[in-house]
């Protein structure tokens, strides 16, 4: 049986570990690696896009990182309860035209008993920034 530690129910320490693992995986910009943290039929809402399953996650992230160059993400603990974690995040990227953006928002995560993320709901806003204003 596939498991991703730490497993729920989460403590403050294990919730923060789970967040750091997710941040590191996303910063790898490896869609296959990222997708392995999710259940095979994981349900996502990413802005106004709805995605179901690892294959769709890989496709979505592959396209994302072709358009979001020099991507760098930071996630912060917001709260947790049993098998759920809420995070605040921001990331920065450059598009093909050389314009820089900071995206920021909140994610709500729900995990199955094996520590795989079953649901991910992300509310995200983008702000165009000047390169000199980058923080990450």
User: Given a cut of 90, is residue 1 above it in pLDDT?
Assistant: no
Tokens of 7: 């497993």
* pLDDT score recorded for residue 136: 95
Residues 33-45, mean pLDDT to the nearest whole number: 97
Q: What is the pLDDT of residues 104-116, one digit of tens each?
A: 999 999 999 999 9
User: Given a cut of 90, is residue 21 above it in pLDDT?
Assistant: yes
Q: What is the pTM of this model?
A: 0.95
Q: Are 97 and 29 in contact (CB under 8 A)?
A: no
- Candidates 77, 3, 74, 68; CA nearest to 29 is 68
Q: What is the pLDDT of residues 61-78, one digit of tens each?
A: 999 999 999 999 999 999
Q: In whole angstroms, what is the distance from residue 8 CA to residue 106 CA?
A: 20
């Amino acid at each position: 049986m596939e498991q991703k530690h730490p497993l729920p129910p989460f403590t403050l320490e294990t919730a923060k570990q789970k967040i750091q693992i997710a941040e590191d995986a996303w910063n790898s910009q490896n869609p296959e690696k990222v997708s392995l943290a999710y259940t095979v039929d994981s349900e996502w809402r990413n802005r106004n896009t709805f995605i179901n399953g690892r294959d769709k996650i890989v496709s979505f992230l592959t396209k994302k990182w072709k358009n979001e160059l020099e991507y760098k993400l930071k996630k912060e603990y917001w709260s947790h309860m049993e098998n759920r974690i809420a995070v605040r995040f921001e990331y920065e990227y450059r598009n093909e035209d050389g314009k820089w953006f900071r995206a920021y928002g909140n994610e709500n995560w729900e995990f199955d008993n094996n520590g795989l993320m079953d649901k991910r709901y992300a509310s995200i806003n983008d702000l165009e920034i000047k390169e000199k204003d980058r923080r990450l």
